């Protein structure tokens, strides 16, 4: 029986980790001009935030946002906005840790924690990546089913071909990867912008939904959906990913260079994640306007949403835009999952494997449960499975936030760039709220 390494030798596949997915190979490889027009400098610095942001638009977000919008209208919009702001705070801390310490979150854990603790954190990070990949598999398969009428089970199997994309980028620079991600984000954003233009938006209802009201979470099913939105928005493996990819911009570790890198990376993070938040708002608002507003308050699946768009809006273009955006969102894990997987593997275990092997293993671990769920529960259960993956991510989140906050405030690790106390206090408050929400969910099961 052939091993992966012997198969690689026979097929002339790469036998080492290769750029742009291997963190150690792309560190400091993207040049940012020390001076010049501000727009050119910002353009060169932009990229890591986009790579993180595309993970906030994946099919798992779609499932939770569509279910929330159809069931509760604009009522849970404040949860999406709050989670978006929480993501900005936590990702900004992850970015700061990477630039100030010169190590990513997983590497710092290996340096400062015992081996057993590192192994547990690594396993939890891998579970988060697999849960995300399951959502991407289901989303991409569903998009193929809706657009090309491919059977859902076959669509699940076809998602395994995305390993060819990883092979195609072998040896290329990190900017090529970022350009593809920018294309995915632009596709998703334009598609949803067009759909909202078709459906129309109730500004008054939008304003009411954006105002925080915890009483809305007491409605049956609202808390589970809110936690699902949280898990879909603030992804634990994105914290590891961001702390690594920001280092592609920093080759000079002097204090002025680090300070400048922090400013530029901060702008990249805020703008990118605000865009991701607006996309999530658009998904929920689309569901609220198209479904809840027309009496369809039990739309719990992406497929149901797709089928209802045309008769409700009267525009045949709406479901096509929806399907194209879903396919673009379903491809995001091809990149973020591979890079994040390499980050946690190198960081926690000091282990490197070829990126195509990483992709094959992760995708296989996602395809098996996704295929089993589709064959056993039927394609109508895809929405439930997507929401379940996001709840799993939420349960994993405290195990990534805890070391992040400990490292970000440690002056021995961060030097004079340790996170400001107000920022740390907000981070710990978010940690407490997320932990309390997860405990409330677990106790209610």
pLDDT digits (tens, 9 = 90+) for 124-173: 998 888 888 888 888 888 888 888 888 888 888 888 777 667 667 666 77
pLDDT at position 333: 66
Residue 244 near residue 94 (C-beta atoms within 8 A):
no
Token pair belonging to 385: 């499975």
User: 46-50, 340-344, 381-385 — which is least confidently predicted?
Assistant: 381-385
Confidence of residue 273 (pLDDT cuts 50, 70, 90): very high
Instruction: Encode pLDDT of 411-433 as tens digits.
Output: 999 989 999 999 999 999 989 98
Q: Give the chain's count of helices (H) and strands (E).
A: 22, 0
Residue by residue, DSSP assigns 367-391 as HHHHHHHHHHH-GGGHHHHHHHHHH
Cα separation, 138 vs 152, whole angstroms: 9
pLDDT the model gives residue 244: 92
Top-confidence range, 25-29, 63-67, 135-139, 398-402: 398-402
Q: Per the omega criterion (within 30 degrees of 0), is the bond before 20 cis?
A: yes
Q: State the chain's mean pLDDT as an integer.
A: 84
d(CA 265, CA 273): 12
Q: Which domains does the chain have, with CATH numbers?
A: 43-444 (1.20.1740.10)
Give this prediction's pTM: 0.88
Q: What is the pLDDT of residues 101-131, one digit of tens each?
A: 989 999 999 999 999 999 999 999 988 888 8
d(CA 165, CA 359): 10
Q: How far apart are CA 156 and CA 150, in angstroms?
A: 10
pLDDT of res. 11: 53
Cα–Cα dist 241/104, whole Å: 8
**Which residue, 60, 66, 329, is CA-closest to 187?**
329
């Amino acid at each position: 029986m052939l091993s992966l390494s012997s198969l690689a030798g026979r097929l002339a596949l790469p036998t080492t980790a290769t750029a742009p997915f291997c963190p150690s190979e792309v560190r400091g490889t993207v040049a940012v001009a020390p001076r010049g027009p501000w727009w050119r400098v910002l353009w060169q610095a932009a990229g890591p935030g986009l790579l993180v942001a595309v993970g906030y638009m994946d099919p798992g977000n779609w499932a939770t946002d569509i279910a929330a919008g159809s069931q509760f209208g604009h009522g849970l919009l404040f949860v999406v906005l709050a989670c978006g702001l929480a993501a900005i705070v936590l990702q900004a801390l992850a970015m700061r840790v990477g630039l100030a310490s010169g190590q990513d979150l997983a590497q710092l854990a290996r340096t400062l924690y015992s081996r057993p603790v590192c192994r547990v954190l690594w396993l939890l990070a891998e579970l988060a990546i697999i849960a995300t990949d399951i959502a991407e598999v289901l989303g991409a398969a569903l998009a193929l089913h809706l657009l090309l009428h491919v059977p859902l089970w076959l669509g699940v199997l076809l998602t395994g071909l995305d390993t060819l994309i990883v092979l195609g980028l072998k040896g290329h620079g990190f900017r090529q990867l970022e350009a593809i991600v920018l294309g995915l984000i632009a596709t998703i954003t334009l598609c949803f912008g067009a759909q909202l233009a078709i459906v129309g938006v109730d500004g008054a209802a939008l304003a009411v939904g954006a105002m925080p009201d915890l009483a809305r979470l007491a409605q049956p099913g609202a808390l589970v959906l809110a936690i699902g939105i949280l898990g879909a928005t603030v992804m634990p493996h994105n914290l590891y990913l961001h702390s690594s990819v920001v280092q592609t911009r920093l080759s000079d570790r002097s204090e002025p260079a680090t300070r400048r890198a922090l400013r530029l990376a901060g702008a990249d993070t805020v703008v990118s994640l605000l865009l991701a938040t607006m996309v999530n708002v658009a998904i929920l608002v689309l569901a609220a306007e198209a479904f809840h507003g027309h009496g369809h308050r039990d739309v719990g699946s992406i497929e149901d949403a797709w089928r209802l768009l045309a008769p409700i809006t009267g525009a045949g273009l709406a479901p096509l835009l929806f399907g194209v955006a879903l396919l673009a969102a379903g491809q995001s894990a091809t990149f973020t999952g591979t890079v994040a997987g390499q980050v946690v593997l190198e960081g926690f275990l000091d282990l490197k494997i070829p990126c195509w092997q990483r992709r094959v293993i992760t995708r296989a671990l996602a395809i098996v449960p996704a295929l089993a769920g589709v064959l056993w529960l039927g394609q109508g259960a895809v929405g439930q499975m997507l929401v379940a993956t996001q709840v799993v991510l939420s349960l994993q989140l405290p195990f990534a936030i805890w070391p992040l906050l400990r490292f970000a405030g440690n002056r021995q690790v961060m030097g004079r760039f340790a996170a400001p106390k107000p920022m740390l206090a907000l981070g710990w408050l978010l940690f407490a709220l997320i932990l309390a929400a997860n405990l409330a969910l677990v106790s209610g099961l």
